[in-house]
Amino acid sequence: MNHSAKLYHNPQCSKSRAALEYLQSTNRAFTIIEYLKTPPSTTEVLELCAKLNIRPLALIRAKDKRFHELGYTTGGERSHEAWAEILSKNPQLIERPILIIKGKAAIGRPLENIIALVESC
């Protein structure tokens, strides 16, 4: 079984770069997914949320300028699937970085979340 880690990475984000640097220092095998270039599908967003044990709305960068430019608010009655689709179509709104190892996941805000996940696996 492949236990390679996956890092959902945005090279423009300092937190994401810090997570990448940390993972490189561990000598652990991992795959980098530049999710802005290769956005996750709606199903993949829902799977990420399940691993993170959060709802898709909690994965959204609601303070991001783009979120408001698109006219979204965190209120209303959107389903989990609808939020996941919004994230799939607008990957810049996804909180980052995200690390997945052995079916578990963590958002690297703060980096200590990723460190704790790596140390637990």
Catalytic residues: 13
Exposure string of 90-115, with b = 16+ CB inside 10 Å and e = fewer, is bbbbbbbbbbbbeeebbbbbebebbb
- CA 79 and chain centroid, separation: 19
Structure tokens at 4: 């390679």
Q: How far is CA 121 from CA 10, 42, 88, in A?
A: 23, 27, 28
